[in-house]
């Protein structure tokens, strides 16, 4: 503990507030709240024999701290949530990637509101629903909503109806095709639907349909009837679980992977959906601490607060009362209860949420195991099949690409730990075989450029040559004799990927058809081929561009290169005007006019030729 910390500890007040711990670089590493700042903060720097390893590690990094006093513990809780969200301190329990969760936004502050997905919650008067962890499900829900209700999607009201109106997916408020009262009634139904209150939606649609029919507005009545039937169809899929009321049922599961919290959303007695959340920095925390931290962070940004939050375990009384007071305040003084049901339907739904959380963790463990089998496991398996001393952690694979010897290129792709490392990829334009196909000579050139002069400590664990024995021999000639690298293993791949040729052996190694080692070799070979083909196509396109520009008077090699560098494609050069062509380096007005007139003449010629063909 340094002098700065010692002096500040003496000045701590007997008031509630937030404390902010910082390291030597001034970075915030922990944010906490306290009823009495003096007592809570001093606890960290007293005898640490009762501290957890995580707290001891955090205290060892504290070089300074700050405090912010508040009027009440609820204010401290709100401030703590804001600071954790903003700074994401290392030692706080935090929702994983919580800043990217999507919300559904209804712009009720506009005359004709819109409904869309956003990842930013602003204080702009709009209604927000979320957060959601499954972006795909949110998009599907929005598509369903737009099928049920013909809402406008344009950012600004247009002067005339767009395509959405003509295909009956918008009521065209821009052209006055719908009354504001009718549109507002539809928005009310949308809000009820998003809140999960389908019974209320049905009642409102039923009432409006009958009123429209009584007034002989049969077209409106028919549209409302279709909406009512669609809402009823959706509501049929929802099961009544608690009878009545708005509740969030929270389940939690822990494993060596981490902690998952699952929430079931129950609105008006019906379960309308669920979300799961991953939490970080939870290894040494108690279940109660994790649950309390989750409730703080989730409801800090949640768009809806239910009247009851059902938990799988009891929180300390002081913590529960503080959270209830905070949530009640967020719900605009409506009372919110935090319960831990011991029996009955509410207990069953919490148990079901916990079971789903446990299932997610099991699935995640299986996914991680499969990913490890396909990466690290595949690398170790390949090393065993090839008889290598150590698993080939870093592998470099080479492939040659050309068309009858023209624009011959080579690619080098790199895999580390069974995964591509694209930052280390390299591509080579082969000079030694231009105009005549010779894969062996091309392989000698690329391995010369890669390995001659390369230090031993920069060599890969395995070099893979995408070719048979001939290309393997060409590569070995350079790597062993000219580069002088004697230890690095080199293998060649036959056209059939399961055949791998090793140095000095006439018989290939046959990898089992369904082995992870074979799948890894196939991924490496496919990636090398893809990278080579991509480069080859780029050079071929550049060559074709140059051949067209060869026919333009006043455009020499330097200007051809300047046009290529500036525009990138032939189509962009063709579409450019004289002023745009002059912007390329080295171009002047006569040269730009020559290029412009050349392509203009070509276009006119094609037009005349087309007219002749049509008339004939």
Question: Is the pLDDT at 70 greater than 80, yes or no?
Answer: yes
How far apart are the C-alpha atoms of 131 and 547, rounded to whole Å? 56
Give me 214's structure tokens. Answer: 């009584």
How far apart are the C-alpha atoms of 543 and 523, rounded to whole Å? 30
Question: Is the pLDDT at 523 greater than 70, yes or no?
Answer: yes
Which pairs with CB-CB distance under 8 Å and at least 24 residues apart come from 560-567? 562/586, 562/587, 563/587, 563/595
pLDDT at 440: 86
Question: What is the full DSSP assignment across 166-218?
Answer: HTTS---GGGT-S-HHHHHHHHHHHHHHHTT-HHHHHHHHHHHHHHHHHTT-H
- Going from the C-alpha of 251 to that of each of 23, 244, 277, 358, the distances in angstroms are 35, 20, 11, 9
pLDDT digits (tens, 9 = 90+) for 73-99: 888 888 888 888 888 888 888 776 555
Mean pLDDT of the chain: 82
pLDDT digits (tens, 9 = 90+) for 402-434: 665 456 788 899 999 999 999 999 988 877 766
Question: Is the pLDDT at 538 greater than 80, yes or no?
Answer: no
Q: What is the mean pLDDT of residues 566-579?
A: 83
Question: Is the pLDDT at 281 greater than 80, yes or no?
Answer: no
pLDDT bin (cut points 50, 70, 90) of residue 237 is low
pLDDT at 606: 56
More confident residue, 427 or 230: 427
Residue ranges and CATH numbers for the domains of the chain are 3-92 (3.40.1440.10), 103-237 (no CATH), 247-362 (3.30.420), 394-533 (3.30.420.340), 552-614 (1.10.150.20)
Cis before 130? omega within 30 = no
Give me 480's structure tokens. Answer: 């062993």
Q: Is 435 helix (H, G, I), strand (E, B) or coil?
A: coil
Entry pTM: 0.54
Question: Is the pLDDT at 238 greater than 70, yes or no?
Answer: no
How far apart are the C-alpha atoms of 36 and 18, rounded to whole Å? 10
Give me 361's structure tokens. Answer: 């963790």
Q: What is the mean pLDDT of residues 51-67?
A: 86
By C-alpha distance, which of 435, 450, 461, 436 is closest to 399?
A: 450
Question: Is the pLDDT at 163 greater than 90, yes or no?
Answer: no
pLDDT bin (cut points 50, 70, 90) of residue 575 is confident
pLDDT digits (tens, 9 = 90+) for 322-353: 999 999 988 876 889 999 999 888 888 899 88
> Using an 8 Å Cβ cutoff, are 570 and 545 in contact?
yes
pLDDT at 536: 61
For the chain, report the end-to-end CA distance as a whole number of angstroms: 96
Q: Which residues pair with 464 in a beta bridge?
A: 397, 491
* pLDDT > 70 fraction of the chain, expressed in percent and rounded: 88
pLDDT at 609: 47
pLDDT at 539: 60
pLDDT at 615: 47
Give the rounded distance of the alpha carbon of 126 from its chain centre: 26
Q: What is the mean pLDDT of residues 266-281?
A: 79
- Going from the C-alpha of 221 to that of each of 171, 210, 214, 215, the distances in angstroms are 14, 7, 9, 9
More confident residue, 415 or 574: 415
Q: What is the mean pLDDT of residues 545-564?
A: 74
């Amino acid at each position: 503990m340094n002098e700065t910390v010692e002096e500040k500890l003496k000045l701590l007040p007997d008031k509630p507030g937030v404390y902010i711990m910082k390291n030597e670089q001034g970075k915030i590493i922990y944010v906490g709240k306290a009823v009495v700042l003096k007592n809570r903060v001093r606890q960290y720097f007293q005898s640490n024999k009762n501290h957890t390893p995580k707290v001891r590690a955090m205290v060892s990094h504290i070089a300074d701290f700050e405090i912010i006093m508040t009027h009440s513990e609820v204010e401290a809780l709100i401030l703590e949530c804001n600071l954790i969200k903003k700074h994401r301190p290392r030692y706080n329990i935090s929702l994983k990637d919580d800043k990217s969760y999507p919300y559904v936004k209804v712009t009720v502050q506009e005359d004709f509101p819109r409904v869309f997905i956003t990842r930013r919650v602003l204080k702009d008067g709009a209604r927000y629903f979320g957060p959601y962890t499954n972006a795909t499900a949110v998009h599907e829900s929005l598509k369903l909503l737009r099928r049920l209700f013909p809402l406008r999607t344009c950012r600004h009201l247009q002067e005339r109806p767009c395509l959405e109106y003509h295909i009956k997916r918008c009521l065209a408020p821009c052209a006055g095709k719908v009354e504001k009262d009718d549109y507002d009634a539809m928005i009310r139904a949308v809000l009820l639907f998003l809140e999960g209150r389908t019974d209320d939606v049905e009642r409102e649609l039923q009432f409006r349909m009958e009123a429209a029919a009584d007034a002989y507005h049969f077209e409106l009545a028919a549209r409302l009837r279709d909406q009512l039937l669609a809402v009823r169809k959706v509501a049929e899929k929802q099961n009544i679980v608690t009878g009545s009321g708005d509740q969030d049922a929270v389940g939690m599961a822990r494993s060596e992977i981490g902690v998952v919290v699952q929430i079931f959303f129950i609105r008006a007695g019906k379960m309308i959906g669920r979300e799961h959340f991953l939490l970080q920095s939870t290894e040494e925390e108690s279940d109660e601490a994790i649950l309390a931290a989750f409730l703080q962070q989730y409801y800090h940004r949640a768009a809806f607060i239910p009247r009851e939050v059902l938990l799988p375990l009891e929180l300390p009384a002081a913590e529960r009362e503080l959270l209830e007071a905070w949530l009640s305040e967020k719900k605009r003084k409506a009372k919110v209860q935090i319960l831990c049901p011991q029996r009955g339907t509410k207990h069953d739904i919490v148990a079901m949420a916990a079971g789903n959380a446990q299932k997610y963790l099991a699935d995640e463990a299986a996914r991680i195991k499969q990913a490890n089998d396909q990466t690290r496991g595949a690398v170790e398996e390949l090393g065993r099949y090839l008889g290598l001393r150590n698993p080939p952690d870093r592998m470099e694979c080479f492939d040659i690409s050309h068309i009858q010897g023209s624009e011959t290129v080579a690619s080098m792709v790199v895999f580390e730990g069974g995964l591509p490392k694209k930052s280390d990829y390299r591509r080579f334009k082969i000079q030694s075989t231009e105009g005549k196909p010779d894969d062996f000579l091309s392989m000698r050139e690329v391995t010369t450029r890669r390995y001659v002069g390369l230090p031993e400590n920069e060599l890969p664990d395995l070099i893979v040559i995408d070719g048979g024995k001939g290309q393997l021999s060409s590569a070995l000639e350079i790597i062993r004799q000219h580069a002088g690298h004697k230890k690095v293993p080199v293998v060649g791949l036959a056209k059939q990927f399961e055949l791998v040729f090793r140095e000095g052996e006439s018989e290939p190694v046959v990898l089992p058809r369904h082995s992870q080692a074979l799948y890894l070799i196939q991924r490496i070979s496919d990636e090398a081929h893809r990278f080579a083909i991509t480069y080859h196509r780029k050079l071929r396109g550049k060559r074709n561009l140059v051949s067209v520009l060869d026919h333009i008077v006043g455009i020499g090699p330097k200007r051809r290169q300047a046009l290529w560098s500036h525009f990138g494609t032939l189509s962009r050069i063709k579409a450019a005007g004289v002023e745009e062509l002059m912007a390329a380096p080295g171009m002047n007005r006569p040269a730009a006019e020559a290029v412009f007139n050349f392509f203009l003449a070509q276009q006119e010629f094609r037009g005349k030729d087309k007219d002749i063909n049509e008339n004939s």
